[in-house]
Amino acid sequence: EVQVVESGGGVVRTGESLRLSCSASGSSFDDYAVGWFRQAPGKEREGISCISTGDGSSYFQNSVKDRFTMSTDSAKNTVYLQMNNLKPEDTAGYYCAASYHGSRCHDEPNLDSWGQGTQVTVSS
């Protein structure tokens, strides 16, 4: 089973960018559905994006699709979430999660491996 660890969070100002990393261990990230989620204080966790590393297809929540992108570096076993034009409402803990080998985002698979999260704070 793959394990994942997030990194790259921080404090930025409105309009700035951050790149979050989701690094895999225990297995390569060659063919997994990998999702990014976020949870703000007092709010429910929400899914914001997903990439199928096997075919590169990706999906984004409407609130971020024009500002966020995902990519994969297979040599580093890492999935990235590039966040541009950040807004205060993007402030949250961000988590990545991986499903099983061979999974695809469009099948909405169960996500079995979760990281500990990384905090993103956007000041106005």
* CA pair distance 122, 1, nearest whole angstrom: 34
Q: Which residue has the higher pLDDT, 27 or 114?
A: 114
Taking the C-alpha atoms of residue 124 and residue 88, their distance in angstroms, rounded to an integer, is 6
- Half-sphere exposure for 91 (CA within 13 Å, toward CB): 12
Question: If residue 45 lies in a helix (H) or strand (E), which one and from where to where?
Answer: none
Instruction: With cut-offs at 50, 70 and 90, classify the pLDDT of residue 94.
Output: very high
pLDDT at 117 over 90: yes
Average of per-residue pLDDT across 70-97: 96
What was the pLDDT predicted at 26?
86
